[in-house]
Structure 1
Amino acid sequence: MHFTRPRELLVAGIIGLGLVYLMFEVAYESVPRLPALAGVTLLVLAAVEVVLAYVIRDRIRSGRVVTGVGIARAVALAKASSLLGALMLGAWLAGVVYLAPRAEELTAASADLPAAIVGACCAAVLIAAALWLEHCCRAPEPRDRDDDRRVTG
């Protein structure tokens, strides 16, 4: 498994944007109102990942035992979350792009626009948290033994 590449996130975001924008174009009239806090679930996941990132980083830096399986699970969670965040960011941005121009003329669009903005912000936070967790799971750079010795003189 490799660490998340920016192009993977970009592709996921474009897929989310395209599919959801098409859905809005075809069926916005029949879609129920967007809940204002629908995107907050992504924020909860981001908070969990930030806490996990700090715990893992602290254990690695202090030299405490960290199992390879635990790190692999954390990396898999981070990779899946960053891709989900990118997909959802694209989806919520599709909502913003569709609703913003129509907010003046449609009451439903003006009511749904804040939910789309909150969702997009929460998805962006999830991407950042997932990438931070992934970064914290990297093996530390090996230090040269000569760097650790202090020269007295």
Structure 2
Amino acid sequence: MGPTRLRDLALAAVAAAVAGYLAAAVGYPRSFPPVTVWSGLSLLAVAIAVGGWAFYVRAKIRENEIGDGAGRLHPLAVARSVTIAKASAWVGALVTGWWLGVLVQVLPQRGALQAADDDTAGIVVAAVSALALAVAGLWLQHCCRSPLEPPDNGDNASG
């Protein structure tokens, strides 16, 4: 499994933004529930948890505390963390794109629709929280990388 490419996340975010824009163009506000500031904060809570776990994993890898035993981080936990990191990055990118697409559709309607005015803050918080989740996922993925092997000092060279 390779690292998540920013290009792939950006393309997914753009596709989700188009979908969000079209959905809002067709169904806003009658088919959309109210978007409060609390709507996106759950993503921010997950982003904080993922980011905190990234710092923990990074410290364990830097201190070479990977393996079995008390106080050590099991290698399978690191592998699972990579899966969580990739999922967080993808979900964050897709949800960021969705909310940005909705925001582009809703912002011009703020003066004409009270719902658009009421929902704008919640949409912005949701988009920022989703972006934070994507960034936290990428950071966790980066923190799960194994340190570089030390360079060969020539002791094993035949000669």
Q: Normalized against structure 1, the TM-score is what?
A: 0.89
1:74 Cα shift? 0.4
Residue of structure 2 equivalent to 1:121: 128
Tell me how far apart the structure 2 counterparts of residues 33 and 4 of structure 1 sit (CA, whole Å): 33
Q: Within the alignment, does 1:44 sit opposite 2:15 as a pair?
A: no
Residue of structure 1 equivalent to 2:28: 28
Greater per-residue helix proportion: 1
Q: Within the alignment, does 1:10 sit opposite 2:17 as a pair?
A: no
Over residues 11-53 of structure 1, what are the superposed CA-to-partner deviations in whole Å (9 max), with x where a residue is unaligned? 2201211111111111113222112221111111111111111
Letter of the 1:48 partner, please give it.
A
1:139 Cα shift? 0.7
1:95 Cα shift? 1.8
Residue of structure 2 equivalent to 1:67: 74
Letter of the 2:97 partner, please give it.
G
Letter of the 2:74 partner, please give it.
T
Tell me how far apart the structure 2 counterparts of residues 29 and 77 of structure 1 sit (CA, whole Å): 34
Tell me how far apart the structure 2 counterparts of residues 61 and 36 of structure 1 sit (CA, whole Å): 38
Q: Within the alignment, does 1:54 sit opposite 2:51 as a pair?
A: no
Contact between 2:29 and 2:116, CA under 8 Å: does it hold in 1? no
Runs of at least 5 residues in structure 2 that lack an aligned partner in the other structure: 67-72, 154-159
What do you get for the CA RMSD once the two structures are aligned? 1.3
Runs of at least 5 residues in structure 1 that lack an aligned partner in the other structure: 147-153
Contact between 1:47 and 1:129, CA under 8 Å: does it hold in 2? yes
Residue of structure 2 equivalent to 1:109: 116
Residue of structure 1 equivalent to 2:107: 100
Letter of the 1:86 partner, please give it.
A
1:144 Cα shift? 3.0
Contact between 1:8 and 1:83, CA under 8 Å: does it hold in 2? no
What is the number of residues matched between the two proteins? 146
Structure 1 residue runs of 4 or more that deviate by more than 3 Å after TM superposition:
none
Letter of the 2:119 partner, please give it.
D
3-state SS of paired residue (2:137) = helix
Tell me how far apart the structure 2 counterparts of residues 129 and 47 of structure 1 sit (CA, whole Å): 7
Contact between 1:37 and 1:115, CA under 8 Å: does it hold in 2? yes
Residue of structure 1 equivalent to 2:156: none
Residue of structure 1 equivalent to 2:83: 76
Contact between 1:43 and 1:125, CA under 8 Å: does it hold in 2? yes
